[in-house]
Structure 1
Amino acid sequence: MAHVYDRLMEDAPYAHWQSYTREMINAYLPGASSILDLGCGTGEITRRLHEDGFRVTGVDLSSDMLTIAQQKSPASIQWLHQDITNLEGLTGYDCVVSYCDVLNYLVDPEQVTQAFANAFEALRPQGLFLFDVHSVEHVEQHLLGQTFAEVYDDVSFIWFCDEGDQPNKVVHDLTFFVQQGATYERFDEQHVQRVYDLQDLKQWLKQTGFNIKQVSADFQTAPHSDGDRLFFVCQKP
């Protein structure tokens, strides 16, 4: 999927994640200069934050994603192949971000709490942790049981969303057809995500040691929790 990811995500609201990050840093930690991006993928958000003047590090579990990120980005961005539930050697950052529902790929609560703990340890005192997740309502109302498809000249895909074997788990079965010369090559991938209750996420964040500054939805900066994508602003004491 790494090789077609940018092609299929051309319309993703990367500029919104970029501006949201700037606004939250300006509101809660003016002067922040370093950002750690957990689950950076092909580095679109990481690169944009670098263009804003931040010193950035991108972390992802997919070496293929990181290869593409490195190829299209300045050499001054650091890319690390690590699991966000098992980070090593990362400390002192002003801000940690994890966007585009990365944390929904952690399908066990223990993985989520470990990722929270790793973000906490990577931050300096007063540092910010900014992340988003799918809301339970969004998955129930807009994803489960749905089929999506896109067709372009060089690539197309069919995406089935089905209920998983546990509550609030969703299985994404994707089939891609990618042009290779005069023919199309098919490949299949399965992605599994899980959504968590808002109150559980708040409890785990507080148990980790974070102060929750605000929760909002769908890139809005005013606090509210009614939307498809929930955004959290947390601060290390």
Structure 2
Amino acid sequence: MNDIAVIALSRWERQQLAAIWRFFPFASDISWHYLYTGPEDQEELPAHPGFRPQAFSAANPVSAMRDHIEKEGITRLCFASLGTLRRWALATGSSPITLYEGARLSLADLSALEEGFTARIDELCQALARHPAILLAEAETLGQPKDGSVYADFEAFRRARYGELLCTGNRDLVSAVCHSSLPSFTVRHIGEGWQALNLALDEEKVDFLTALNRLRHASADAVENTPGCKSGSPSAYQTSYSLFAQYYDSYMSHVNYEQWVDLILSWHKRVAQETPKRVMELACGTANASEILVFRGMEVDACDISPYMLHVADAKPFKPSLFLNSLTDPIPGGGYDLIFCLFDSFNYLVKKADAIQLLNHAHKALKPGGTFVFDISTLKNSLENFCDTTSFNRVRDGYLVQISTYEPLTYRQITHLLLFRKNLNAYERFEERHVQRVYRSPELVELCAASKLRLKAIFSPDTRPNLISRDGNDLDNRYFRLFFLLQKPL
């Protein structure tokens, strides 16, 4: 078991971390020790076997936390902010080097050191397998590191582009270059005999995506540095619907969610002969459909595999009860009148075994007579709308490019989402890759028949009749989207 201590010393940090912990994808092979100041019940925290929050209200919380860390034998630390690191270093008398690692720049902040600069630089660069670089103005103070380069100024270093580690004790330079764009860097601290990551929750408006990714990085780093140990939860590190979550509602603004909800409810009533009271939405995304049902007075639960999407959903006024869950995980709770899974989320189940597993989980979570409704993007939709196509959309702070291809031999729909987000006078590039299986109606009918549920209807939003008696191949070539309605026997 890997143990990581996350340390927060301010109320601001606790508030931000509470939002991150709420939907955090805990892995089975990591134990998180969340050490924070203040009363235990001040923030709502999740209950998970691998999550161990501990409040410290003593006059000297750092000393108490340090004793707790030593008692538990924790060697991996993660500070909530640079401010917390400074308080920790002051209280413990340590002088760590802060390392900022970005795509275009790696910088070591030596401002906490008072002496022994050259030796610490040599030791650091040897451990990182990097060549050091210093600026001419600091050469007298820092000395001449082994295999190091000296540059006239920062611009000369940046133009060189040799991938060296810039070592500096200039706080103003660090502030101007790194603190002004913290989301672009991974922040580490290297002390004498210890290392730590930093979530850098120092900004007025923290980027949830960046903060959560840093916490995930701490998890991945712990696993990768444990001999013979691999991640216990592959889904915990998936990137689909991460950055895109911030733009999802804008991207889906063309969807009439009220109409979709009305269709689902009308189809359910045709089969179940009653209006549902207790509802579950799977792969809810930002919970736009569930929000409508909550507004209409229904008891609604909703889950998704993306903590980023759930974070957006959690800010909505009529949000359902939200939790992190994948389509192949057992559905918590039971006795649902209606379970639904929309917007071709079912297509993300590229293995038939996963699709069967979902059907079985839905059967277990439904009450007798309850229905499960899911939709699929059809072969017609892939061939006509997503086969070698590129679309371009303007978003609030950049541009979103969607590149779609269809692989007929494997029935796979591949979508690349490229986001170019403006950052000061430049653009940052982000990419997500989505893979979907284009199911054919006949094979879905077979899958449904093999489950404990009973396929009662196949609908299209373009026509009212039940299409279950129609030829499946004809359905795939005629309609862009199909809805399958299954019922749990009484």
Displacement of 1:181 after TM fit? 5.5
Aligned to 1:231: 483
- Give the equivalent residue in structure 1 for 2:250: 7
User: Partner residue of 2:330?
Assistant: 87
In 2, Cα distance between equivalents of 1:153 and 1:85: 34
SS in 2 for 1:27: helix
Question: What letter corresponds to residue 171 of structure 1 in structure 2?
Answer: I
Q: 1:59 aligns with which of 294, 299, 303?
A: 303
Tell me: CA distance 1:78–1:153, structure 2 relative to 1, closer, same or farther (3 Å). Answer: closer
Tell me if structure 2 keeps the 8 A contact 1:177–1:186. yes
Q: Does 1:147 align with 2:390?
A: yes
- Please state whether the residue corresponding to 1:45 is helix, strand or coil: helix
Q: Is the 8 A contact 1:17 1:99 kept in 2?
A: no
- Secondary structure of residue in 1 paired with 2:314: helix
* 1:26, distance to aligned residue in structure 2 (A): 2.5
SS of the residue 2:280 aligns to = strand
Distance 1:90 1:195 in 2: 30
1:118 aligns with 361
| Secondary structure in 1 matching 2:448 | helix
8 Å CA contact 1:70–1:79 kept in 2: the answer is yes
Per-residue CA deviation, residues 24-65 of structure 1 (Å, 9 max, x unaligned), is: 233222142011100000110110111222211111000111
Which is worse superposed, 143-152 or 2-11? 143-152
Paired position in structure 1 for 2:318: 74
How far apart are the structure 2 equivalents of 1:47 and 1:195?
Answer: 28
CA distance in 1, matches of 2:279, 2:343: 16
Asked whether 1:188 is paired with 2:431, we answer yes
The two structures have a TM-score, normalised by structure 2, of: 0.46
- Residue 158 (str. 1) matches residue 401 (str. 2): yes
TM-score by length of 1: 0.92
| Shift in alpha-carbon separation, 1:166–1:24, aligned structure 2, 3 A | same
Matched, 1:167 2:410: yes
Aligned residues with identical type, % of pairs: 26
Find the counterpart in structure 1 of residue 285 from structure 2. 41
Aligned length: 236
Q: Which residue of 1 aligns with 2:57?
A: none
Distance 1:88 1:152, change over 3 A: closer
Report Cα offsets for 1:149-170 as digits up to 9, x if no partner: 2124533211111234952101
The 1-side partners of 2:262 and 2:398 are apart by: 30
1:133 and 2:376 matched = yes
CA deviation after TM superposition for structure 1 residue 213, in Å: 1.7
Return the alpha-carbon distance in structure 2 between the equivalents of residues 52 and 97 of structure 1: 17
- Decide whether aligned partners of structure 1 residues 21 and 181 sit closer, same or farther in structure 2, where only a CA change above 3 A counts: farther
Task: Specify which structure has the bigger relative contact order, considering alpha-carbon pairs within 8 angstroms and separated by 6 or more residues.
Answer: 1
Kindly provide the amino acid, as one letter, of the partner of residue 288 in structure 2. Answer: E
Contact 2:250–2:395 under 8 Å retained in 1 = no
Give the conservation status (yes or no) of the 8 Å contact 1:14–1:44.
yes
Q: Structure 2 counterpart of 1:230, which letter?
A: L
Q: Which ranges in structure 2 are unaligned for 5 or more consecutive residues?
A: 1-243, 468-474
Larger Rg: 2
Structure 1 runs (4+) deviating above 6 angstroms are none
Residues 1:196 and 1:183: Cα distance change in structure 2 (over 3 Å): same
What's the RMSD between the two structures over aligned residues?
1.9
| Greater per-residue strand proportion | 1
SS in 1 for 2:308: helix
Alpha-carbon displacement from aligned partner over 1:175-220 (angstroms, at most 9, x marks no partner): 0123446654321111111111101111111211222221122354
Letter in 2 for 1:63: P
Conserved? CA contact 2:331–2:365, under 8 Å: no
Q: Distance in 2 between matches of 1:113 and 1:97?
A: 15
